[in-house]
Amino acid sequence: MITKSQSAAEAPSCTPPDGASCWLCLEEGPDDSGAPLVRDCSCRGHSGFAHLQCLVQYAKSKTKDFAERGELTLSTMFVEKLFERCPNCKQEFQGDLYYEMTKAQLSFVEKEFKGANGWYIGTLTRRIHALDGGKEEDRIEGEEICAKMLSLIDEMKKNGDPQLDAFMLASVYHDIGRFNYDIGTNQRLERAKRYLEISRDVFVSLGGCDSDIAVAIEGNIANVEARLSGSNLPTKKESDLSAQRARYNCMMLRVTGQNDVRTTQVGVHLATALFEACHTLEALRLLEKLAGTSRRVHGSDHRVTADTAFLLKQFQARYVSIGNGLNYQALRYENDGKSCVIQGPVPRNIFEPRNVDDEKTFSVPTANIYFSLGSPVMLHGLKKAAHLNGEIGDVRGHCELTDRCVVHLEGKDLKPVKVKHENLRIVFDVADPKKESS
Ligand SMILES: [Zn+2]
Ligand SMILES: [Zn+2]
């Protein structure tokens, strides 16, 4: 499934069309060293393609301009995002381009701003955000960065450096905790927990909206503890989900927050993982939120917006079977819910293309419908457990023996229930579960 969404995502912008040229040096095609034109931002059509080295040179000279005018402060460097943002469309670089630009920024600052520890720490923070603790090469670089940040903090404390405030301190501890969490071995998780706890305590002491950050870190600490104990998470899948939720929450906490395109990307991965684990309601709610943010912030042309819209369409379709071994898409209820209009047959893998010309639309008695795993459903018509009527949840299993669905309900304190098919209704619209069609 992920492969499909990624290929949908890659298509729009990254390959230069014939005749594309670098908007900085105006040369067509690869540069002298053979490095190709790159682009990974919101630029469209022929615009915005450049050589990596040209982008790096441009960012360096802009930074030097600020410095010569005496206007280079920590905030110009990191609010202007001279290395992190496309100067053309003003969107942050993504993927490999972000990775390369943060690397270039780090070596530039190491060379040109010796002794400016505040800048150095800020740059290290940017770099560690670009790394993936799960990859060997990134892990080694990240560990060096963690060690460097800690020794810089010590040095700044000793010198009474005014740039070292509590917020910077808490952020550094948070980044170190988050990175160790990414690596994920038990020893790293222990370390992650220690740093997250220090970070939380500092954010609490700052008060105001920084205490909200502390509350969210608290949630991440709980996730680390759950992964360490392994006991209160039933399966590997659940613990992976929990880790991915924590990662998404961490991204939300970053200075760039929920409007950062990388936050959306991590959110999309989380939504996909939730969907694959049959947490469809949670996946849908998250994805709807991400799709809205992406349209508003990145625009409807942005590849992340296209990606979320593509996935949302898949997630919103409801699939059922009717006992003939084939799959169908459920469209709506009829006759007070006594029958259901379905269309198909459809491929078993919902991401495969459908041959709509060969599909038929017809109505079947609701009692003959079997819900696919992950179907969002509403309980109804229960006599003994009438208080549960109207509750919604996901179908997470089928009990062959009793011919019932195992439904995990969304209500916080509700335990999973086994329910007959006739006591379930498909939820077509998560925002309005009572609506009978999509
Ligand atoms: Zn160029
Ligand atoms: Zn751009």
Query: 292 CA distance to ligand 2 centroid (A)?
Result: 21
Asked whether residue 11 carries a pLDDT value surpassing 50, the answer given is no
- Ligand 1 centre from 97 Cα, in Å? 15
pLDDT at 94: 84
Neighbours of ion ligand 2 (CB under 5 A): 41, 43, 48, 86, 88-89
Residue 346 to residues 64, 356, 375: CA-CA distances in angstroms? 59, 8, 16
Query: Which of the ligands is closest to the CA of residue 26?
Result: 1
Q: Which of 4-18, 183-197, 267-281, 393-407 has the lowest mean pLDDT?
A: 4-18
Considering the chain, what is the average pLDDT of its residues? Answer: 85
pLDDT score for 239: 63
Can you give the pLDDT at residue 348?
Answer: 79
Q: Quote the ligand 1 centre to 119 CA distance (angstroms).
A: 28
| Residue range 390-403: mean pLDDT, rounded | 84
Where is average pLDDT lowest: 71-75, 245-249, 286-290, 350-354? 71-75
* Distance from Cα 319 to the centre of ligand 2, integer Å: 40
The answer to whether 410 and 393 are in contact (CB under 8 A) is: yes
Ligand 1 center from residue 58 Cα (angstroms):
10
Say which range, 61-70, 300-309, 398-407, has the weakest mean pLDDT: 398-407
CA of 40 to the centre of ligand 2 (A): 7
Selection from 396, 389, 386, 390 nearest residue 418 by Cα = 396
> For residue 45, which ligand has an atom nearest its CA?
2
What's the mean pLDDT in 224-249?
A: 69
3-state secondary structure the chain: CHHHHHHHHHCCCCCCCCCCECCCCCCECCCCCCCCEECCCCCCCCCCCEEHHHHHHHHHHHHHHHHHCCCCCHHHHHHCCCCCECCCCCCECCHHHHHHHHHHHHHHHHHHCCCCHHHHHHHHHHHHHHCCCCCHHHHHHHHHHHHHHHHHHHHHHHHCCCCCCHHHHHHHHHHHHHHHHHHCCHHHHHHHHHHHHHHHHHHHHHCCCHHHHHHHHHHHHHHHHHHHHCCCCCCHHHHHHHHHHHHHHHHHHCCCHHHCHHHHHHHHHHHHHHHHCCCHHHHHHHHHHHHHHHHHHHCCCCHHHHHHHHHHHHHHCEEEECCCCCEEEEEEEEHHHCEEEEEEEECCCCCCCCCHHHCEEEEEEHHHCEECCCCEEEECCCCCCHHHCCCEEEEEEEECCCCEEEEEECCCCCCCEEEEHHHEEECCCCCCCCCCEC
**CA 56 / ligand 1 centre spacing (Å):** 10
Please give the distance, rounded to the nearest whole angstrom, from the Cα atom of residue 136 to the centre of ligand 1: 32
Question: Is the predicted pLDDT of residue 4 greater than 80, yes or no?
Answer: no
Distance CA 208, CA 205 (A): 9
Among residues 41, 113, 119, 111, the alpha carbon closest in space to that of 77 is found at 119
pLDDT confidence of residue 223: 80
Q: Which tokens in the block code for residue 21?
A: 């040229």
Average pLDDT score over residue span 58-69: 91
CA of 299 to the centre of ligand 2 (A): 13
Confidence of residue 179 (pLDDT cuts 50, 70, 90): very high
Please check the confidence at residue 5 and state whether its pLDDT lies above 80. no
Percent of the chain at pLDDT above 90? 43
Q: Picking from 70-79, 224-233, 386-395, 407-416, which range would have the lowest pLDDT averaged per residue? A: 224-233
Mean pLDDT of 40-50: 86
pLDDT for 140-177, tens place per residue?
Answer: 999 999 999 999 999 999 999 888 888 889 989 999 99
Q: What is the mean pLDDT of residues 348-371?
A: 87
* 85-114 pLDDT, tens digit each: 998 888 888 889 999 999 999 999 999 887
Q: For residue 254, what pLDDT band results from cuts at 50, 70 and 90?
A: low
- Which residues fall within 8 angstroms of residue 84, CB to CB, at 6 or more apart? 92, 93, 98, 101, 102, 105, 126
Nearest ligand, measured from the Cα of 91: 2
pLDDT of residue 7: 35
User: Mean pLDDT, to the nearest integer, of 245-267?
Assistant: 77
pLDDT for 209 = 65
- Which ligand ends up closest to the CA of 23? 1
Question: pLDDT higher for 311 or 44?
Answer: 311
Query: How many angstroms does the Cα of residue 52 sit away from the middle of ligand 1?
Result: 7
| Distance from Cα 248 to the centre of ligand 2, integer Å | 25
Is residue 361 over pLDDT 80?
Answer: yes
Q: What separation in Å is there between the alpha carbon of 38 and the centre of ligand 2?
A: 10
The Å distance, Cα 93 to ligand 2 centre, comes to 8
Residue 12, pLDDT score: 39
Q: 8: pLDDT confidence band, cut at 50, 70 and 90?
A: very low
Give the separation between CA 283 and CA 275, rounded to whole angstroms: 5
Residue 63, token pair as written in the block: 């930074």
13 Cα: distance to centroid of ligand 1 (angstroms): 18
Using alpha carbons only, what angle is made at residue 271 by residues 267 and 276, rounded to the nearest 5 degrees? 150
Centre of ligand 2 to C-alpha 123, Å, is: 22
Greatest alpha-carbon pair distance for the chain in Å reads 78
Matching residue, tokens 């399966």 = 235
Q: Which ligand is nearest to the CA of 27?
A: 1
Report which bound ligand comes closest to the CA of 299: 2
Residues 9-34, mean pLDDT to the nearest whole number: 79
pLDDT band at 43 (very low <50, low <70, confident <90, very high): confident
Closest CA to 265 of 226, 294, 225: 294
**How far, in Å, is the centroid of ligand 1 from the Cα of 82?**
17
Residues 232-258 have a mean pLDDT of: 67
- List of long-range contacts for 342-349, beta carbons under 8 Å, 24+ apart: 342/369, 346/319
Residue 437's pLDDT band (cuts 50, 70, 90): low
119 or 191, higher pLDDT: 191
- Residue 256 confidence class, pLDDT cut points 50, 70, 90: low
